[in-house]
Structure formats: C-alpha cells, structure tokens
Amino acid sequence: MFDDLDVVITEVALRDGSHAVSHSFTEEQVRNVVGALDKARVPYIEVSHGDGLGGSTLQYGLSKVDEFKLIQAAVETAEFSKIAVLLLPGIGTVHELRRARELGASLVRVATHVTEADVSAQHIHEARKMGLTTFGFLMMSHMAPIEKLVEQAKLMESYGAEAVYMTDSAGALLPDQVYERITALKEALNVEVGFHAHNNLGLAMGNTLEAIRAGATRIDGSIRSLGAGAGNTQTEVLAAVLEKKGIRTGIDLYNIMDAAEDVVAPLLKSPQEITKDSLTMGYAGVYSSFQLHAKRAGEKYDVDPRDILIELGKQKVVGGQEDMILDVAKRMAE
C-alpha cells in the first residue's frame, strides 16, 4: 500500500506517549488523535499500553482505559491509516495479539532487549500466521556492539520479521553511532531496516536523519514529540524536514501541523522538553520509560532521581526491570 513512499512513518504518540501521560488516554482522546492523524495521511498509528499489549499492571503502570477499547476506537476511526500495536514477549502473549488482530490491528512490532531476540520467535511466527504485518524491534540498542546487534537482527529476520527496527530506547546514541549501526544492518539483512529515536540528548532528529541517510526506510515519529523521557522524533517537524529534502512520506504537512497544535498539544500535561531527568537518562543510557518511575521513587525515599537513574545505568537495568527502581532508591536512602 505504501510502496511508492521513500520512508514509511509509524506514529507512536498513542503508545510511547502513554508513558508521558501515565497511561491515561481515553477513547475520546484516541478517536480525536487518530482522526487528525488519519486526515494527515499518516501510514501507521501505534496504539497500546506504553509497554505494549498486556502492559497494564502494577509494575508497569495501570491503564485508565482498557487498551483493547483504545485499539477498537482507533480502528473504528481510521479510514486511511493502519493501526499498529507493540508486543513485548513476557509482558504480552499470543492471546493479546490475537485479540488485537480480531479488533482490526494490521501491524505488530515484536520487541525484545537487543540481546534477547530469541524470545521473539514464537510471537513473530504466530503473528505472521494471523496475517499481521510483522516487524522486529530491538530495544536499548546502544547496549550491544554492532556485531551483536546484527546477529540479533538476523535472528528476527530468520523468524519471519518483515523489517527490523534498531531502537534507541534511552536516547543515548550519537549520530555517527546510528549511521554506523544502520549501515551494518542494511548490509546484513534482506528485509527493511527501521529506526526509533528518543530525544534525551536532543539528537532524535539528527539521529533519524542519519538513519535515513544510511538506508533506513521505516521510521518512528511522535506528534508534538509525545513519548517517554524527552519524547521521540517530532512527527510534524520530521515531515517538514523530509519534504524539504525531497523524501516522500505521503504525510500532508499542513494537516499534521494542525493535528499537533490543535489536537495533541492540549493533551500534554506539560510541554515535552529535555529536563534534567530525561537528560540524565540519555547520559546514563537508561530506558526512557524509567523517568516517571524514578521521579516517584525519589520523592518516596527523598533521593535525587538523577542519582537513581545513574545507578540504574551502572547496573545496566533494562526495560522489564522496573521493580528494581524502588529497590535502588531504597538502598540509596539507607
């Protein structure tokens, strides 16, 4: 459907942005945002808990509204755009994936830590059997050398992934590192390569442009930069930059600007910006969704959240280990 585009953008504000609003999206908000994005002809819109299907738990944060109601609202609203979901094996299961498919989701990104692609085999295989467009999603990619990144991406490809994303979950990578890694993936894989950025060091746009220059054709954006930490590559800005470069995304520039200003901006509790905590996450290489958890733990134990984040970075804590945030804060307070 999008074969005529140079770069296919997946909008992640209704998934990654769930972290920034404490998983409080409502059906009405989803309908409004999806309607505006659909009008702007955004190819894919990802909708699920910030930690993917099944993520609504005490450990990861409870959703205000059942995510399947949000997915259904998105599917019912979209006329042009396709609805995507994220699944982390061990958090979500094939059962949740099947339910999302029955509601009308057409794309799934199966996400694992950058060194744990082997746990994605069953989910990628089952997703393909369901007729879903199925991509691999390697998180915290800064934590592995290039050789390991390529090895793990090739595993996902062998399981049936139709594209593999390199994900800068901590916003820790520098532009030259992104270019080098994407180049290596392009040379090693026979499927498309994607890139997902975070802006904790202020490099999301620059890193995304380097990824595209190296050959990435699947790119994530987040309207108004609504995402975990300091947010992601800002979709409306990315659309404008790529149009100036003559790169086809299919997105209507004025409509995506209007969607950002008139529909999404009012949803933000505060402007998405690089705060001292999000900057610390990029510096320490810590998962971007840890920001609110670390802030709450710091308030509870009277510890600077930056010290918590730095210690988490030293311990190489990754997504799925949110329970360790309170443990670290408690030990630091003793």
- Amino acid at site 220: D
**Distance (Å, whole) CA 16 – CA 165:** 15
90: DSSP letter? T
Nearest to 41 by CA among 255, 264, 251: 251
19, 23, 123, 293: the catalytic one is 19
> Does 198 count as an annotated binding residue?
yes
**Distance (Å, whole) CA 170 – CA 212:** 19
Angle value at C-alpha 229, between 150 and 319, nearest 5 degrees: 50
Longest dimension (CA), the chain: 59
> Does 169 count as an annotated binding residue?
yes
Would residue 215 be called left, alpha or beta, if left means φ above 0 and alpha means ψ between -120 and 50 degrees? left
> Does 277 count as an annotated binding residue?
no
Q: Which residues contact 115 (CB under 8 A, 6 or more apart)?
A: 143, 144, 148, 152
Please give the C-alpha separations between residue 219 and each of 9, 27, 165, 211, 280, in angstroms, as whole numbers. 5, 26, 8, 9, 25
Tell how many helices (H) and how many strands (E) occur in the chain. Answer: 14, 8
**Distance (Å, whole) CA 232 – CA 222:** 6
Active site residue 19: yes
- Amino acid at site 312: L
Angle between helices 94-103 and 121-129 (to 10 degrees): 30
- Residue numbers belonging to the annotated binding site for substrate: 15-16, 169, 196, 287
- Residue numbers belonging to the annotated binding site: 15-16, 169, 196, 198, 287
Residues designated as active site: 19
- Residue numbers belonging to the annotated binding site for Mn(2+): 16, 196, 198
